[in-house]
Amino acid sequence: MSPSSSGGLSQTGERLDSAPTRPHYDVRVVVLRLKMEFRARFLQIPDQSFFLFGPRGTGKTTWLRQALPDALFLDLLQPDLARDLLARPERLRDLVAATPPRTPVVVDEVQRVPELLGVVHALIESTPPRRFVLTGSSARKLRRGGVDLLAGRAIVRTLHPFMAAELGPFDLQAALTRGLLPLVVAADHPTDVLRAYASLYLDEEVRVEGWTRNVGAFARFLEAISFSHGAVLNIANVARECQVERKTTAGYVEVLEDLLLSFRVPVFTKRARRVTVAHPKFYLFDAGVFRSLRPAGPLDRREEIEGAALEGLVAQHLRAWIAYSRERHDLYYWRTRSGVEVDFVVYGASGVWTIEVKNTARIRDDDLRGLSAFGEDYPQATKLLVYRGTRRERRNGTWIVPVEDFLRQLEPNAPMWAHRA
């Protein structure tokens, strides 16, 4: 099964024509010599108005340009257009009125001018109603600005980094090193793009939007928080590492989440038979972004960094699988107070799936201890262990699967593994 063409084709990377308008972005490093390839994406485009969120570089605009080639595109990263609509949001009516009634309207990076949402709301309810697609790489202004969020008139979709099954040929080691962000996958010099990626957010989002007065402290925070990737988040420890107050650090974590650069995975506690821990685990949204932020020196073990990258790569795939599937699922992890843990639990309409990730080529019986304990408490769960080896087997009721195989076959609206084994 291949990604559905009904979801539209996506050009990897950001479009070239928008880059020169980004004053703090090094165009020479990031936008040069992109490979102009088209990739089918699993995300299905709704028939109604919708928000499309996703971090910068996930290909939101290029996907929409392929899926909606006749749409009116309003790019709010263009300073002149953003200034004009910020001064007079009602001018949006004039721009829309100049297009045929059935023409979709794409407002790119709508968080730049959130006042437009009141006008959008009115146009959606007009006769005839207009269809809007509102993209954003930050939810902070929309959530905190008290603006009109369309009262449910527009549904929400999220575009994630590539899934392995969207790529055809899939290189696991490259994904662990450089990640699967379309902007990076499409670049001739992906390492340079990753190096510039954090600077994009520091300059354009944090500095321009004024979310922190001390950009240097935020830069130290980014390095410190990278050590929490794939671990239980301890705000106090991160605050000590980046030498800022705990309250400030908690605010920085919220900024990362609002910029869609990180997420937390809560503990699975449904009908718990054992006492579980309370704190969530923390992940950066892409393995390559994690690697670009995580310092690596003589005192850092390669296995430790690569193990965290592998766990994060599986996490970002599971999030995309959940986001693109029709049925509702949620992502958790499981850990008891005694220290028995399973990396991921996917719970939803299709069942309970529990997944352990091991950055090793050989599996010992002790590696199955957490899965076995979870299976005792939740016998209906399908148990999987994904690892760096090459053999598939079933041991003590657990599917043991090469991680590359698992990621390649993971597709929305299909079971995770058992039917393929």
CATH for 125: 3.40.50.300
10 vs 384, higher pLDDT: 384
- Please tell me what DSSP assigns to residue 44: P
* pLDDT tens column, 123-132: 999 989 999 9
Please check whether residues 153 and 175 belong to one and the same domain: no
Please check whether residues 307 and 373 belong to one and the same domain: yes
* pLDDT tens column, 253-308: 998 998 899 999 999 999 888 888 889 999 999 999 999 999 877 767 888 999 99
Largest CA distance in the chain: 67
Which residues, including other chains, have CB under 8 Å from residue 229's CB and lie 6 or more apart? 282, 283, 284, 290, 294, 308, 312
Cis check: omega of the bond before 79, within 30 degrees of 0? no
CA dihedral 26, 31, 33, 38 (to 10 degrees): 160
* pLDDT tens column, 310-350: 999 999 999 999 999 999 999 999 999 999 999 999 999 88
Total structural domains within the chain: 2
Is residue 392 domain-resident?
A: yes
Is residue 33 domain-resident?
A: no
Please check whether residues 310 and 419 belong to one and the same domain: yes
pLDDT band at 408 (very low <50, low <70, confident <90, very high): very high
Per-residue pLDDT, averaged over 93-120, amounts to: 94
203 vs 243, higher pLDDT: 243
Is residue 182 domain-resident?
A: yes
* pLDDT tens column, 139-160: 776 766 545 566 667 888 999 9
Please check whether residues 234 and 373 belong to one and the same domain: yes
Please check whether residues 220 and 368 belong to one and the same domain: yes
Q: Which of 45-54, 173-182, 191-200, 239-248 has the lowest mean pLDDT?
A: 191-200
Among 130, 158, 186, the domain-final residue is 158
Tokens at 29, concatenated: 């490093």
Please check whether residues 180 and 291 belong to one and the same domain: yes
Please check whether residues 150 and 172 belong to one and the same domain: no
Residue 7 has pLDDT above 50, yes or no: no
pLDDT of residue 152: 63
pLDDT band at 28 (very low <50, low <70, confident <90, very high): very low
- Please tell me what DSSP assigns to residue 415: -
Nearest of 247, 219, 225, 250 to residue 238 by alpha carbon: 225
CA dihedral 188, 190, 193, 198 (to 10 degrees): 170
**Rounded Cα gap, residues 334 and 315, in angstroms:** 14
Query: What is the DSSP code string of 245-312?
Result: -HHHHHHHHHHHHHTTSEEEEPBP-TT-SS-B--PPEEEES-HHHHHHHS---TTS-HHHHHHHHHHH
Which domain covers residue 50, as residue numbers? Answer: 44-158
Please check whether residues 180 and 136 belong to one and the same domain: no
pLDDT of residue 27: 28
Is residue 4 domain-resident?
A: no
**Rounded Cα gap, residues 79 and 355, in angstroms:** 46
pLDDT of residue 37: 53
* pLDDT tens column, 45-94: 999 999 999 998 999 998 999 999 999 999 998 999 999 999 999 999 99
Among 158, 187, 204, the domain-final residue is 158
Please check whether residues 148 and 184 belong to one and the same domain: no
Nearest of 179, 181, 175, 114 to residue 149 by alpha carbon: 114
Residue 208 has pLDDT above 70, yes or no: no
Report whether 387 contacts 356 (CB < 8 A).
Answer: no
Length, in residues, of the chain? 421
Is residue 2 domain-resident?
A: no
Is residue 299 domain-resident?
A: yes
Please check whether residues 208 and 118 belong to one and the same domain: no
Residue 19 has pLDDT above 60, yes or no: no
Is residue 196 domain-resident?
A: yes
**Rounded Cα gap, residues 233 and 377, in angstroms:** 26
Is residue 36 domain-resident?
A: no
pLDDT of residue 147: 52
Please check whether residues 142 and 181 belong to one and the same domain: no
Amino acid letter at 169?
Answer: P
pLDDT of residue 318: 98
Among 134, 158, 182, the domain-final residue is 158
For the whole model, what pTM was predicted? 0.87
Please check whether residues 153 and 197 belong to one and the same domain: no
The mean predicted confidence, pLDDT, of the chain is 86
Tokens at 6, concatenated: 């009904």
pLDDT of residue 223: 92
